[in-house]
Amino acid sequence: MILITDLSKIEKRFTSSIITLGNFDGLHLGHQALIKKIIQRAKETGSLSMVVTFRPHPLKILAPEKCPPLISIYEEKIQLLEKLGIDVLVKIPFTLDFSAMEPRDFVKNILCDLLGAKEIFVGYNYRFGKGRKGNIEMLRDLGQELGFEVREVEQVSLEGEVISSTRIRQLLKKGEVENASRLLGRSYTLCGIVVKGDGRGRGLGFPTANIAAKHSIIPSNGVYAAKLFVRDNYYDGIVNIGMRPTFDTNSLAIEVHIFAFDEDIYGEELTLYFIQKIREEKKFQNAEALIHQINADIKTAKDILSGQPEISENNTGEN
């Protein structure tokens, strides 16, 4: 996959591209269906399949207070698009100057003259250009003028439920990681760096890795069965997200207990794959009651995870 992050460094314009545009936050099953269509169409026409997206999310520049927390981080989205088989990914830096570009200038100067658009696939409500003045009708008119086809794509549903990034965010915030993963087409992942904790987990007999998350969305407080990736290997484990009320702490912590693993990984990156929520967070009367519950959580998690496919197969973004 060719990755372009600076339009000014394109030395030779593309001549025949099948393009789709959007933010593609989460790269869920609806996004994947769209991207598979442009890949197939590119093969049929001898063109390049191309995704055009923006970094940062336009709302972070235009209206930060309205920008939703993002499901995917930058590196994750690139990896997922590459796995899907896209030929070219164009990440346009979104700035105030770029936002002032007139719709026609964006389509002619960038999509046509530079990226070689022959067909453009967009959703029914796609808007673009200065003040979001551009819409699908304008895009069709420009297509007739400039020589490209416009293909409108309907929203994708799964079992009667429309798949959207907004819906997935709602599910994650409620801790419904199974339903969120169903719409994503893969397990919801959270990457972070292992940081020093207070050592309570080890003192209780369950050493934990404390995670400083890179992702914006943290599932709701509680205990989860999870798969983990660290030091080039996958492991099973449990994740506790919350305020640790038994110890009267007042800061959110993401603590991971990795089964059959006891190595020093401070400062290293760890990836969590959320499989299922086991229970809500609660306060225990004493450490002994907490230890008893942790043992029960571990048993429950092992039962859940024993029936899961290997994560390398489950997280390709191609389900």
Question: What one-character-per-residue DSSP string does 197-241 give?
Answer: --SHHHHHT---EEEEESSS--PPSEEEEEEEEETTEEEEEEEEE
**Is 214 found in the same domain as 151?**
no
Q: Flag whether pLDDT at 245 surpasses 70.
A: no
Is the peptide bond between 56 and the residue preceding it cis, with omega within 30 degrees of 0? yes
Residues 15 and 71 in one domain: yes
Position 285 in a domain? yes
For 192-230, the pLDDT digits (tens) are: 999 987 666 665 668 889 999 999 999 999 999 999 999
Q: Is the pLDDT assigned to residue 319 strictly greater than 50?
A: no
Same domain, 95 and 190: no
pLDDT of residue 102: 95
E-strand ranges in 77-205 read: 88-93, 117-123, 149-153, 157-158, 161-162, 188-195
> Has residue 224 been placed in a domain?
yes
Does 197 lie in the same domain as 106? no
Of 226, 16, 3, 267, the closest CA to residue 117 belongs to 16
Shared-domain flag, residues 56 and 102 = yes
Q: What is the mean pLDDT of residues 287-306?
A: 93
Which pLDDT score is estimated for 317? 44
Confidence band (pLDDT; 50, 70, 90) for 61? Answer: very high
| Same domain flag for 97 and 197 | no
SS3 state of residue 171: helix
Q: Give yes or no for residue 318 having a pLDDT over 60.
A: no
Question: The CATH number of the domain where 77 resides is what?
Answer: 3.40.50.620
Question: Residue 258 belongs to a domain with what CATH number?
Answer: 2.40.30.30
Could you read off the pLDDT of 275-289 as tens digits, one per residue? 999 999 888 888 888
Range of the structural domain that residue 211 is part of: 186-314
Same domain for 203 and 148: no
Q: What is the pLDDT of residue 244?
A: 65
Residue 131, domain member (yes or no): yes
Between 58 and 198, the more confident residue is 58
Quote the crossing angle between the two packed helices 177-184 and 165-173, to the nearest 10°: 160
- Do residues 192 and 149 both lie within one domain? no
> How many CB atoms neighbour CB 94 within 10 A?
19
Q: Which of 111, 140, 158 is the last residue of a domain?
A: 158
Which stretch of DSSP H or E encloses residue 54? strand 48-55
Q: Does residue 178 lie in a domain region? A: no
